[in-house]
Amino acid sequence: MEVSKKMEKWAAQELQYADLGDTRRKKRLISIVENLASQPSTSVPQASGNLAAASATYDFWNSPYFHPSDLIAAQAKSTVERIKEHPIVLAVQDTTSLDFTTQKAKKGMGYLDYKKSFGLKVHTTLGVSAQGIPLGLINQYVWAREEKNLGIAKQRKKRETQEKESQRWLNSLSETQQQIPEEIQVVTIGDCEADIFDLFAQSRSPNSHLLIRGTHNRKVATSQ
């Protein structure tokens, strides 16, 4: 009961900026998130309590009045409010895969690392304080790879960045700069996959910095 109360308060606060065009939809979204957050390791039917509630949850997700971007946008606004309390924040970018290969009822999936593996790709930017405290989601991109693009990675060096998945690093940086007030020092962090010339060349505000793990050693100019 105590966990449920905490999740109810958290969900209401985290999604306070959700705009679904109707307060009843907003309350329904908060209720769904509360149930799932209270039991993160369970299935939707188990977290919902009964099949009727689970069916209502699926119907809500499939509603034309709701899109995952609504959830992301609401969380991002709450994150920025927390970020405003810190003079320096880390914007940690990373990409992962959601593998649904074994799910027989899957729809709308794309290929992953292999032709016979299917799922979604997710690129996330998380806000973290200088002390290492998670502040929340800043932005997130989710996409399914098209089968027609399978195998073109071999030709990636010949293609422009905007034609590759690498563009997500630039988009996330740009969106982060738009979301966070300019007076806050923001350090964007990425692994070697973010070692992209166009990312370093992209226009940044004076308080926007990069910390990227290099793909390989290179010569750099120094003051000595």
Q: What is the CATH number of the domain that holds 23?
A: 1.10.246.40
- Assigned domain for 219 exists: no
Range of the domain at 118: 78-212
Mean predicted confidence (pLDDT) in 41-55: 92
Examine the domain organization and report whether 125 and 207 are in the same domain. Answer: yes
pTM of the model: 0.87
Question: What does the CA dihedral 94, 100, 118, 213 come to, rounded to 10 degrees?
Answer: 10
- Assigned domain for 145 exists: yes
Mean predicted confidence (pLDDT) in 47-70: 93
Examine the domain organization and report whether 83 and 50 are in the same domain. Answer: no
Examine the domain organization and report whether 56 and 87 are in the same domain. Answer: no
CATH number of the domain encompassing residue 120: 3.90.350.10
What's the whole-number average pLDDT of the chain? 90
- Residue 93: pLDDT band (50, 70, 90) is very high
- Assigned domain for 91 exists: yes
Please tell me the predicted confidence (pLDDT) of residue 207: 96
Examine the domain organization and report whether 46 and 105 are in the same domain. Answer: no
Examine the domain organization and report whether 56 and 94 are in the same domain. Answer: no
Please tell me the predicted confidence (pLDDT) of residue 103: 86
DSSP 153: G
Two structure tokens written together for 153: 């990675």
Examine the domain organization and report whether 85 and 46 are in the same domain. Answer: no
Mean predicted confidence (pLDDT) in 197-215: 94
Examine the domain organization and report whether 107 and 11 are in the same domain. Answer: no
Domain count, the chain: 2
Q: What percent of the chain stands above pLDDT 90?
A: 71
pLDDT surpassing 70 at residue 4: no
Read off the pLDDT of residues 127-158 as tens digits, 9 standing for 90 and up.
Answer: 999 999 999 999 999 999 887 766 665 655 66
Examine the domain organization and report whether 56 and 83 are in the same domain. Answer: no
Examine the domain organization and report whether 47 and 111 are in the same domain. Answer: no
Alpha-carbon gap, residue 111 to 166, rounded angstroms: 17
- Residue 116: pLDDT band (50, 70, 90) is confident
Examine the domain organization and report whether 130 and 51 are in the same domain. Answer: no
Asked which of 7-11, 92-96, 170-174 is least confident by mean pLDDT, the reply is 7-11
Examine the domain organization and report whether 51 and 84 are in the same domain. Answer: no
CB 110 within 8 A of CB 147: yes
Examine the domain organization and report whether 38 and 109 are in the same domain. Answer: no
- Assigned domain for 20 exists: yes
Phi, psi of 135 (to 5 degrees): -110, -15
- Assigned domain for 96 exists: yes
